[in-house]
Structure 1
Amino acid sequence: MDDQNSPERIMREMDWNLLRTFVVLAQARSVTDAATRLRLTQPSVSTALKRLENRVGKKLIDRSPGHFQLTDAGQVLYREAVDIQGSILRLSTLMRNMTDEVTGHVRLSLASHVICPLFNQVLAEFHAENPRATLSIDVFTSALAVETVTARSASFAICLVHQRNSKLEYKRLFREYFGLFCGPPHPLFRRKNLTRADLAGHSAVSFGTDRLQDALKPVTLMRAQAELGDKIIATSSHLEEVRRLIIAGLGVGPLPLHVAARDVRDGQLWQLPPYDQTAPIDVHVVWNPRAVLNRAEKWLLDRLLQRIEETPMDQRTYR
């Protein structure tokens, strides 16, 4: 007779719907929120959690009023369930790719406002050589973009990288440099011969990842050296919205130099010091080597990696 927690029994009796409910629970961080996302009642979600805990023989979530936390066993199961979910999500695409003429669908996860001529060139080649292939691009924070690759719900991601996951592969696509800017309503706009000291005391706007322990650490240091560190009054995870806040005059903010160049020419932005110590930030291609790629995904990823290898780094550096 099988032991209650034997791998064979768990494999035979595991219900994917229970795992799906658990993934949503872990991401929602409350039964109420999970029930809303799943369009179920709270008792149904609680019952599903109890059934899953009985199946695996472990407590998965510590719950009490005001407290909701995955146990160690819950953390392990969540990682594996996300991986399983990614495989299931990809089944329909893989089957379609085997049974009809569609070359395949590619789903990309990008950080906001990725400006990279090399990437644009590869997209043009992809469409020209695979006209029946389809493509969708979702814009996320860099952290969420990486999560979609881990879960295998995205073909690959182009984003900033802070902490590397040993299960994923990374390749630097390009390097961009961030400077500080202000908009027309700001008192420093169009002022010349400014020094870093002129920025002291002014309020700032920035990205949510503008922290010493995150991907935009060089930007954080640059801002701190201008004594803007404790005066962030507005943030966004999207570059377009940080740009909006700067142009509206809410404060001094960081932007990639090559992205801001047109707005500077058009009189919408004004670059501020430091001019010669701008912050370098690397943008990476991130993919999951465990994912089974369809023909279109493999073509696009392989061609992008090939172009990166063929193109010297100085031609992939935008100042």
Structure 2
Amino acid sequence: MERPELPLPQLHAFVVLAEELHFGHAAARLGIAQPPLSQQIRRLEDKVGHALFSREPGHVTLTPAGRELLPAARRILTDLADGLAAARAVGSGRAGHLRMGFAASLALTVLPDLLRTFRERFPDVHLHIHEMTTTPQLAALHDKSIDIGLLREPPTDDEPRLGFRTVLTEPFVAVLPSTHPLASQRTVRVAQLTDSPFVLLPREVGPGLYDRIIGLCTASGFTPRVAQHAVEWQTVCALVETGLGVSLAPASIRRIRLKGVAFRTIDPDAPRTRVAVAWRKDDDSPLVGSLLTTIDQDPPDGSQGSAVGPCPG
């Protein structure tokens, strides 16, 4: 069955007249003269095939057909208005869905403030947060299962499809069992860890961070003997607490409170670890641009912004 075309101006005129039940008042409300209003109503009645209003001198009422059409006409106009408002909000980056990956350790540093600020500015954006290490985040960005990533030590090799921007840099700390001889010192030189076994994250989950830690050791004259791997920093600290080894970790890990673990600063001139936001260069989502703008306008303490690749939006 072929559906009749019902132009929106005719539906709008019909709803206004149904509410006013007076051609002069309805025309004034619509900002048009009365004859064009009458023409709009007649065209709509022609499409419906039945009169929508009963017209008597000084008295206008809805016919049964008009009473039946009115709720549907109101729904159509309301749905259209809502749809236009939603489309404008999404198009401007003020609403929609944003999928974000983040490294677990960033929940101890930059992530809470970033999410709080973003939600305050964009309350209608639905954030979908996924905890991931660096390598899975990069894969998820490539296969479009996340829109933006917050990761440690982005790859130094060329990533033609991805853009990176440094959000924060922070120093490393030594993670020691509280019974370790070096735990009594306020500052530990990396070279002093030469004879200690290490607990580290596997290289495959974060090659950049792993290589940075190994580089700290080799720069101090030794290659660390890795006794145990653990995927999460919470687990690394728990294994250190048992005495399985020591570790080098981003300074924010100090917020993990374990009675048997001591965190000590290391050489002040040692390289720092880099936290970056990552996105697809060809992603034209305004929401990605909104999050990057939030980072630009409210950078975390100690951040050193450095964009690599264009910023969308």
2:104 is paired with a residue whose SS is coil
Which of 142, 156, 173 is matched with 1:150 structurally? 142
- CA–CA distance in 2 between the matches of 1:289 and 1:273? 37
| CA apart distance, 1:306 | 4.0
Q: For residues 1-319 of structure 1, what are the structure 2 equivalents within 5 Å?
A: 98=87, 103-114=95-106, 119-159=111-151, 160-162=153-155, 163-190=157-184, 198-209=192-203, 214-225=208-219, 229-260=223-254, 263=257, 267-271=259-263, 274-293=266-285, 296-308=287-299, 315-316=302-303
Per-residue Cα deviation, 1:50-93 (whole angstroms, up to 9, x for no partner): xxxxxxxxxxxxxxxxxxxxxxxxxxxxxxxxxxxxxxxxxxxx
More displaced stretch, 108-117 vs 199-208: 108-117
Contact preservation (8 Å) 1:212, 1:221: no
User: How far off is 1:223 after superposition?
Assistant: 2.5
AA aligned opposite 1:303: T
Q: 1:227 to 1:210 in 2, by over 3 A?
A: farther
The alignment partner of 1:104 has SS state of: strand
User: How many angstroms apart in 1 are the aligned matches of 2:165 and 2:188?
Assistant: 38
Q: Is the 8 A contact 2:217 2:224 kept in 1?
A: no
For the Cα contact (< 8 Å) 2:135–2:204, is it kept in 1?
Answer: no
Q: Structure 1 stretches of 5 or more lacking a match?
A: 1-96
Mark the CA change 1:232 to 1:127 in structure 2 (over 3 Å): closer, same or farther.
same
- Secondary structure of 1:152's match? coil
The change in CA–CA distance for 1:316 and 1:298 in structure 2 (over 3 A counts) is: closer
User: Could you tell me how far 1:315 is from its partner in structure 2?
Assistant: 3.1
Distance 1:166 1:215, change over 3 A: farther
Contact 1:206–1:232, Cα closer than 8 Å, also in 2: yes
1:301 positional shift: 3.1
Percentage identity across aligned positions? 16
CA 1:267–1:210 in structure 2 vs 1: closer, same or farther (change >3 Å)?
farther
Question: Residue 190 of structure 2 contacts residue 267 of structure 2 at CA under 8 Å; is this kept in 1?
Answer: no
- Correspondence for 1:43: none
Cα distance change, pair 216–251 in 1 and its aligned pair in 2 (3 A): same
Distance 1:211 1:154 in 2: 17
Instruction: Name the aligned partner's letter for residue 290 of structure 2.
Output: W
Q: Is the 8 A contact 2:234 2:256 kept in 1?
A: no
Tell me by how many angstroms 1:273 deviates. 7.2
CA gap 1:134/1:268 in 2 versus in 1, 3 angstroms: farther
Q: CA deviation at 1:259?
A: 2.9
Q: Which residue matches 1:59?
A: none
TM-score after normalising by structure 2: 0.57
Q: Which has the larger radius of gyration?
A: 2
Q: Distance in 1 between matches of 2:165 and 2:191?
A: 38
User: How far apart, in 1, do the equivalents of 2:226 and 2:266 lie?
Assistant: 18
Count of residues paired in the alignment: 214
- The Cα RMSD (Å) is 3.6
SS of match in other structure, 1:260: helix
Is this contact kept in 2: 1:116–1:174, CA < 8 A?
no
